[in-house]
Amino acid sequence: MHALSIPTWIIHISSVIEWIAAIWLIWTYGEITGNRYWWALSAAMLPALVSAMCACTWHFFDNLDSLEWLVTLQASMTVLGNCTVCVAAWWIWHCTRQKDPNKIDKSI
């Protein structure tokens, strides 16, 4: 556990807690509004959470060479998470445009 300083650990752990809170808040917002596409965004955020947990786990065990596969998993989950959040954001945009087809972006 000596791989990171205490302030760095605080940042790592608080980031994971914040991400969990964001997932929960977005899910709750979807329940309150009845818009299920928000649930898709909260589910799309899970690979990024797995990525963060991989990083914390690897650092917790002092960056052991035997756990280096976690680095690959973390990188893969980051890419997957970025893609899933992008698709979920597009889905939210698409669904909100369908609800009001008369909305025309006049800023173009």
Q: CB–CB of 89/41 below 8 Å?
A: yes
Amino acid 79: pLDDT: 98
Q: Is 0.85 surpassed by the pTM of this model?
A: no
104 — pLDDT class (breaks 50, 70, 90): low
**E runs forming strands in the chain:** none
* pLDDT tens figures, 25-41: 999 999 999 999 999 99
% helix, strand, coil for the chain, step of 5: 80, 0, 20
Q: What is the mean pLDDT of residues 68-78?
A: 96
* Tokens at 31, concatenated: 């329940």
